[in-house]
Structure 1
Amino acid sequence: MLAEGQTALVAAAQDRRTGELVAYTVIYLDPAKPGVAEQDDTLVAPPHRGHGLGMLVKLANLRRLQTEYPAVGRVMTFNAEENEHMLSINVQLGFKPAGYDGEWQKRIK
């Protein structure tokens, strides 16, 4: 994505005891789509889940987006339907469903 000229905004959480990065999120900005940002991955390491880190890194990055790119008026994101925790975070942050996408899989033995 960076090779295509996109900009990545990343926010991360670090465990102060170990120095390990335990959560992160990324928002991409594409110059071909001014005014729209793409919220991509938000991940929290399993031992650190349940402490609100996903919400915190996502909120920090959205605030950074507002500050550094005030012309962006829309942020698009996606989630698996079964990821109820992240869907709940998105609702709390003000995201609203805008559509559905499906993927199909065939297992080949």
Structure 2
Amino acid sequence: MTIPRKHLVQEVNELTEAFRTDSIFADVHALLATHSIAPSDVLLAGLIENGEWYESGAVVLPDGRVFFFERENSRLPKFDRAEFVTPESLTDYFAAIFVAVEMASAACE
């Protein structure tokens, strides 16, 4: 089943607003800062959290690059994976990844 684009745009907008303003993301902001990335400059394309403390997400930079973060235990400050990846590598996990890339590109124009 295909998710309508307007729903994906809404998801990215809501996730991004929470990402930029909620202190729960402070550790992710600090991680991005190590790469000279300001939270106000990115879109949060997707976030996965579960009751087992697993957390992962993808942020899209204005130039369309995608930064993926993942940790098995979100109670710890260490991330198990934090790297730039291709949007194509995340389509199975984040339905809005390509929409977020398009939105980031449009914001730069």
TM-score (norm 2): 0.33
State which structure, 1 or 2, has the greater radius of gyration over its C-alpha atoms: 1
Structure (1 or 2) with the greater strand fraction: 1
Of structures 1 and 2, the one with the larger relative CO (CA 8 A, separation 6+) is 2
Structure (1 or 2) with the greater helix fraction: 2
TM-score (norm 1): 0.33
